[in-house]
Amino acid sequence: MHTIEIQTQAFSDQKPGTSGLRKKVKTFQLEHYLENFIQAIFNTLGDCSNQTLALGGDGRYFNREAIQIILKMAAANGIPRIIVGQGGILSTPAASVLIRKCKLDGGIILSASHNPGGPEDDFGVKFNIANGGPAPEKFTEQIFSHASVIKAYKIMDSDDIDIDTIGEYALQDMIVEVVDSVADYADLMEQLFDFDRIKALFESGMFTMAFDAMHAVTGPYAKEILERRLGAEPDTVMNGVPLVDFGGHHPDPNLAHAKQLVEKMNSASAPDLGAASDGDGDRNMILGPGIFITPSDSLAVIAANAHLLPGYASGLSGVARSMPTSMAVDKVAERLGIECYETPTGWKFFGNLLDAGRITMCGEESFGTGSDHAREKDGLWAVLFWLNLVAAKQKSVETIMHEHWQLYGRNYYCRYDYEAVDKTAAEQLVQDLRDQSAQLAGASYGDYRIMTCDDFRYSDPIDNSVSEHQGIRILFSNGARIILRLSGTGTVGATLRIYFERYESDSERLDRDADEILQPLIEIAKQITQLEKKLDRDQPSVIT
């Protein structure tokens, strides 16, 4: 067992996006590709001799092999200790909880989140810092700088470590501690929520639930918490065994990909609550019988009712949402008299606000919700919140949502995703819109008059860092919005996301069909952008 230095050449495509580096598995399997990026992380950390890190992932294809490579490289780079989730499994929120509980210096999370898995699909690597959250742009830019000029990496010439048995193992001078992947996370959830009240709900025999783990990482977490600790029926967790290819399905908890759950919740025998989580456990979808709760509405309901739950009984310091997320939570913040922050897309932008105590809860329209218990969005946390809320109010999901709309009004909202489009064409479409933004101000389209059009720019109120070009906003005089942005989570071509929002306060108009309400905005967006012609697409890939 000894350290060797391998000569290498830099790859030009190792710039981390909003959620780390995501590529096809075959790209990460290229000779030196993964190793170069991991060495760039260690080089960014600098002196590794006092660093203790967490390591784990969502169990997708190449997860176990990558962990063994990273362990050997960590030992060769002088890291004294690494904590690994048993079997190489750690949901993204559980990794954040582990980093924070054990006061680690950071962690390497192996995941491509909601992207498909398997030998022909996606893999990802990201680094989380000591607060448990994704590395900020300053850090990821340094990683890219090192990756761009790398000439060699260090690795141990040694046998693989047993990552399936809990215990401590030596790899040269480094200690590898394999821990229960679920226990710390489940214990924290028990502190935040009223497990006794939720357990009583299940024991009443009057309440049923379906949770679709989508053959992804949350299966073991959901089984432990929902079925063992809370007493839900043994078949409550669907698709609960993590598989390297997620059973051949797309592990994205939305109406398009969680078809089995959606069909169940729209059936005559629908459970009282339906929920799903994604590949790495940080996203969530909430459903009631025949009703889909949009992530934006879910964030607003959670913020409005946080005082009813043990972990948040003292109230909220503030809330935050990503810019494309609907403004439903803004109405709640206004009524509560607390600050509401608007940030770019990417959970890392919430980190400074959480660390500074400016906010307690935050969320994104892309099915992500969370609080200050971690520095990642947390799918199962959101599901437990809704469970606890139903138990506390003794009301159905549908009733809770409708009562919320009656009090705050309704933000009709949807998102169109145009996936795997030509990247150059998509970038040109956005640039064209940016160029004509000044001319659009004041233009009218039927009953809609554009008040302003801009490119969202964010100045962090904590560290004064500035993030430019975070999405085109078309804002109308009646409060409606159209947002366009290019997503950084895909691995093929580009994904253009378009968001549509219109607020309605008339109590007689709160149960209208969202498509009907938003159709004028959809037509305006097509007319302004000429996207059907420029992208050669007449329909979005996914509507959520």
Q: State the pLDDT at residue 544.
A: 83
376 pLDDT above the threshold of 90: yes
Per-residue pLDDT tens digits for 237-278: 999 999 999 999 999 999 989 999 999 999 999 999 999 999
On the question of a common fold for 185-408 and 410-543, the answer reads no
CA separation for the pair 397, 23 (Å, rounded): 38
Region 482-497 average pLDDT: 82
Please give the class, per CATH, of domain 185-408: alpha beta
Per-residue pLDDT tens digits for 344-373: 998 889 999 999 999 999 999 999 999 999
Q: State the pLDDT at residue 488.
A: 61
Q: State the pLDDT at residue 216.
A: 97
489 pLDDT above the threshold of 70: no
Region 174-188 average pLDDT: 98
Q: State the pLDDT at residue 348.
A: 87
Please give the class, per CATH, of domain 410-543: alpha beta
CA separation for the pair 325, 319 (Å, rounded): 13
CA separation for the pair 218, 216 (Å, rounded): 6
- Paired with 466 in beta bridges are 459
Domain boundaries, the chain: 2-181, 185-408, 410-543
CA separation for the pair 303, 312 (Å, rounded): 10
The answer for 38, left when phi > 0, alpha when psi is -120 to 50, beta otherwise, is alpha
Q: Which helix (H) or strand (E) holds 9?
A: none
Q: Which helix (H) or strand (E) holds 440?
A: helix 437-440
Per-residue pLDDT tens digits for 5-15: 999 999 999 99
For the domain 2-181, what is the CATH superfamily, name and number? Alpha-D-Glucose-1,6-Bisphosphate, subunit A, domain 3 (3.40.120.10)
- Paired with 502 in beta bridges are 412
Per-residue pLDDT tens digits for 206-215: 999 999 999 9
Q: Which of 56, 62, 68 is nearest to 24 (CA)?
A: 62
* Secondary structure (3-state) at 324: coil
Q: State the pLDDT at residue 341.
A: 98
437 classed as catalytic: no
Burial of 449 (0-12, 13-18, 19+ CB in 10 A): middle
490 pLDDT above the threshold of 60: no
Task: List strand residue ranges (DSSP E) for 422-476, in order.
Answer: 444-445, 448-455, 458-459, 466-467, 472-476
Q: Which of 182, 181, 184, 44 is nearest to 126 (CA)?
A: 44
Output the average pLDDT for the chain. 95
For helices 379-393 and 195-203, the axis angle rounded to 10 degrees is 70
- pLDDT confidence tier of residue 487, bands split at 50, 70 and 90: confident
Maximum distance among all Cα pairs of the chain, rounded to whole angstroms: 73
- pLDDT confidence tier of residue 504, bands split at 50, 70 and 90: very high
Q: State the pLDDT at residue 475.
A: 97
Q: Lowest-pLDDT range, 88-97, 297-306, 425-434? A: 425-434
Burial of 235 (0-12, 13-18, 19+ CB in 10 A): exposed
Q: State the pLDDT at residue 491.
A: 60
How distant, in Å, are the alpha carbons of 91, 259, 299, 388 from that of 310? 24, 34, 18, 10
Active-site residue identified among 91, 111, 113, 366: 113
CA separation for the pair 56, 98 (Å, rounded): 11
Q: Which of 95, 98, 104, 87 is nearest to 161 (CA)?
A: 87
